[in-house]
Amino acid sequence: MKALVVNQLHQPFAYQDMPDPVPEPGEVLVRLHAAAFNRRDWWITQGQYPKIQLPVILGSDGSGTLDGKPVVIYPALDWGDNPRVQSKAFRVLGLPEDGTFAELIRIPGKNVQPMPEHLDWEQAAALPLAGLTAYRTLFTRCRLEPGERVLISGVGGGVALVAMQFALAAGAEVYVTSGSAEKIDKAVQMGAVAGANYRESNWAADLKVRAGGFDVVVDSAGGDGFADLLSLTNPGGRIGIYGGTLGKINGLSPQVLFWRQVSILGSTMGSLEEFRNMLAFVSQHRIVPVIDSSFALEDGNEALGRLAGNAQFGKIVLQIR
């Protein structure tokens, strides 16, 4: 089969022939039709990830066919039995196990789920990791309720965008932040009430005047700006955090935390049950993930460059013929 292979760190993918994978007991062989990038894939190519083993085929997200039927892949391995947290054995698909940037993948049978009928291959491939992360953060962890006011930070990213779509579908009033006025405009076109540009000074205080405060905040940055998000949180509010691109969190007021009864809730990925619930929610509300751009598998290095540039609005997808 053809695949995008990481043979060395800090080097382009090699588009090359690899042996067809052979399923082990309990596994199946899926013929992939589309895959999608996640920030994780970029970090691995840069050596910024624990326990990298080479060579490896990256990719956590994929759609394809099993016995002629359209499927999407649940991208978690060995989550375990505890809904609260993944087991020590947990891995994300696409390191150390070979991932979806290939024509074929072997995967445990239970990781293969029916594809939502309203999505095409590329849209379905754009959904799994981002959708699962957003679903668990918003619903399992933050327990979002209809009519609540939600703030989604960094709205260009794949998880942030689908979190916005899920929150809108759940009947929330959604605001966004971004460093780009263009991305804010696009989010408003999709249904957000308004946005704030976090590059402007006093953006948080201004937003508080305009919007009043938020019941649920979803963030993947952390850093010094996280204290701004806390300042924007309503009494009884929940802040879900699923990433930390800006590093350590500083300057949090304990008084605001306890007096407002705020919850800060770390979240990553989700269980198979959450994945199934997410797919059902997407089908019920006919949610279509936003695709930023789409490349042929052999043009994977162009796709990676697009991811590295941070200009995307939505998912970067690979077409696999």
Positions that interact with a copy of itself (CB under 8 A)? 82, 84-86, 141, 221-222, 226, 235-236, 241-244, 247-268
> Is the CB of 185 or the CB of 273 nearer to a copy of itself?
273
Give min distance, CB of 276 to a copy of itself, in A. 19
Give min distance, CB of 76 to a copy of itself, in A. 13
> Is the CB of 95 or the CB of 262 nearer to a copy of itself?
262
> Is the CB of 191 or the CB of 247 nearer to a copy of itself?
247
Q: E strand or H helix at 296, and its extent?
A: strand 291-296
CA distances from 34 to 63, 122, 191 (A): 5, 5, 27
> Is the CB of 111 or the CB of 267 nearer to a copy of itself?
267
Work out whether the CA dihedral 197, 198, 204, 208 comes out positive or negative: positive
Work out whether the CA dihedral 186, 248, 45, 112 comes out positive or negative: negative
Q: What is the DSSP letter of 121?
A: H
Give min distance, CB of 280 to a copy of itself, in A. 23
Concatenated DSSP letters for 187-248?
HHHTT-SEEEETTSTTHHHHHHHHH--EEEEEES--STTHHHHHHTEEEEEEEEE---TT--
Give min distance, CB of 226 to a copy of itself, in A. 8
CA distances from 257 to 137, 183, 239, 262 (A): 19, 31, 11, 5
Give min distance, CB of 174 to a copy of itself, in A. 21
> Is the CB of 14 or the CB of 52 nearer to a copy of itself?
52
Give min distance, CB of 2 to a copy of itself, in A. 33
> Is the CB of 31 or the CB of 260 nearer to a copy of itself?
260
Task: With beta carbons less than 8 A apart as the criterion, state whether 58 and 94 touch.
Answer: yes
Token pair 């804010």 is found at 184
